[in-house]
């Protein structure tokens, strides 16, 4: 039997979820889970943790769906919940090491220099090999688009700490990128900050 919410517009889907209809909740999950899994995975080092964050994030989505206001995209609203869930997960598991200096970060192995990377797989490998604090700042600032002030509030750090961690993380990524002659996706980070 086909789920009537699979092709429903967002308003109908939200109404069904708010009424507690499992078919609507399943449709919402299926519509956004793949994209949100990518968001969650960027904050962890393994798929299992990303799946845990995704599950917890969707629980939060369903619990707070009545707070959603259609003044922005539903996907953007869900993404913010996933990012905050990932940050909470990292803090809870004490994986957020924001004050690691470049000298303590160690040498990170470079990937294959001969392949272009249109899907960002090499970038993900580099991010996953970075210290968690650096990876978190890069994700929040360069990928998710949060300001350093917002990042500071989310992580409980000073805005200047967020900025300095971003600069260090960016330097590390640029260094790694330079080791990978065929990779051009990180060049835009040079202009951002």
CATH assignment at residue 33:
1.10.1740.10
- Domain end (from 65, 95, 125): 95
Where do we find the tokens 């803090």? 91
Judge whether 30 and 54 are in contact, CB under 8 Å.
no
pLDDT for the residue 34: 95
Q: CA nearest 70: which of 144, 108, 15?
A: 15
Both tokens assigned to 150: 């917002």
- CATH number of the domain where residue 112 is located: 1.10.10.10
Task: For the chain, state the CA radius of gyration.
Answer: 18
Same-domain status, 62 and 87? yes
Same-domain status, 84 and 169? no
Same-domain status, 60 and 138? no
Same-domain status, 66 and 119? no
Q: How far, in Å, are 40, 150, 163 from residue 100 at the CA level?
A: 22, 21, 14
Angle at 97 between CA 50 and CA 51, to 5 degrees: 5
pLDDT for the residue 174: 82
Judge whether 7 and 17 are in contact, CB under 8 Å.
no
DSSP assignments along 27-70, one per residue: HHHHHHHHHHHHHHHTTSSSHHHHHHHHHHHHHHHHHHGGG--T
- Domain end (from 33, 68, 95): 95
Same-domain status, 87 and 105? no
The tens-digit pLDDT sequence of the chain (193 residues) is 567 888 888 999 999 999 999 999 999 999 999 999 999 998 887 899 999 999 999 999 999 999 998 888 999 999 999 999 999 898 787 644 443 333 333 333 333 333 444 456 677 777 877 888 888 999 899 888 999 999 998 888 999 999 999 999 988 888 877 776 444 555 556 656 5
Same-domain status, 79 and 42? yes
- Domain end (from 95, 124, 153): 95
Where do we find the tokens 């604090």? 133
Same-domain status, 191 and 150? yes
pLDDT for the residue 156: 87
Measure the CA–CA gap between 4 and 8, rounded to whole angstroms.
7
Same-domain status, 90 and 112? no
Same-domain status, 169 and 132? yes
> Judging by beta carbons within 10 Å of its beta carbon (0-12, 13-18, 19+), is residue 116 exposed, middle or buried?
exposed
pLDDT for the residue 91: 79
pLDDT for the residue 102: 33
Range of the domain at 146: 97-193
Same-domain status, 102 and 170? yes
Domain count, the chain: 2
Same-domain status, 103 and 193? yes
Same-domain status, 83 and 146? no
């Amino acid at each position: 039997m086909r789920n009537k919410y699979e092709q429903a517009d967002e308003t109908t889907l939200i109404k069904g979820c708010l009424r507690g209809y499992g078919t609507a909740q399943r449709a919402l999950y299926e519509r956004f889970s793949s994209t949100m899994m990518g968001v969650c995975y960027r904050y962890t080092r393994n798929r299992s943790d990303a799946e845990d964050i995704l599950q917890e994030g969707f629980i939060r989505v369903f619990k707070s769906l009545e707070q959603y206001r259609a003044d922005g995209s539903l996907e953007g609203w869900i993404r913010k919940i996933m990012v905050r869930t990932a940050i909470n997960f990292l803090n809870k598991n004490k994986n957020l090491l924001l004050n690691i200096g470049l000298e303590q970060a160690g040498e990170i192995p470079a990937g294959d220099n001969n392949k272009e990377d249109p899907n960002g797989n090499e970038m993900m490998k580099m991010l996953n090999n970075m210290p968690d604090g650096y990876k978190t700042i890069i994700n929040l600032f360069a990928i998710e688009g949060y300001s350093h002030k917002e990042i500071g509030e989310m992580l409980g750090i000073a805005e200047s700490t967020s900025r300095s961690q971003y600069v260090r993380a960016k330097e590390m990524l640029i260094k790694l990128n330079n080791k990978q002659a065929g990779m051009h996706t990180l060049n835009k980070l040079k202009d951002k900050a």
